[in-house]
Amino acid sequence: METTEATHPAAATLTTPVGIIAVTSTRMAIVRVEWVDADSEPTPDDENPLLTEALGQLRAYFDGRLGEFDLPLSLDGISPVATTVLTVLADTVDYGATVTYGELAARSGTGIPARAIGSIMGLNPLPLLIPCHRVVAGDGLGGYSGGHRGVGLATKRRLLELEGALPSPLF
């Protein structure tokens, strides 16, 4: 993951099975992914090829045609420890797999406790692209701050079902 200065950011939205997401990009890196309400849609920038590519890759992900994103990402403004944890997550937990908070803490080599991993996941400025939804508790799903307010855990479940990491509910 590269770090770049956020110059001339542009944003666009995409309607997905888990709500409307906004993607913000400079010409050099994707800097933010977040859930937004329909009335807060940013104006797309058709002159930003990276933003266009990111939206295309997200469409392919939700259509089940893409399991790994290939985009330059920026974690500028995130602490070095959080950057390490998020980078390890992105590099070692593949589509359709999960990792526990404790396992990710150990993999990161940062010496932080498992409970701190949840806080770092909540700081992730690039959910979906850095798959914090794949981090689960040892005894269940754990939490999720992605998705629209009040439906974070349902969003996490839906993403894991989409990737085949959880069975779809029968009812």
Residues with active-site annotation: 132
| 7 Cβ contact partners less than 8 Å away, ≥ 6 residues apart | 26, 27, 28
| 114 Cβ contact partners less than 8 Å away, ≥ 6 residues apart | 100, 101, 102, 104, 105
> What gap in Å lies between CA 51 and CA 62, rounded to an integer?
17
Which helix (H) or strand (E) covers residue 91, if one does?
Answer: helix 80-92
Nearest to 35 by CA among 150, 117, 160, 142: 150
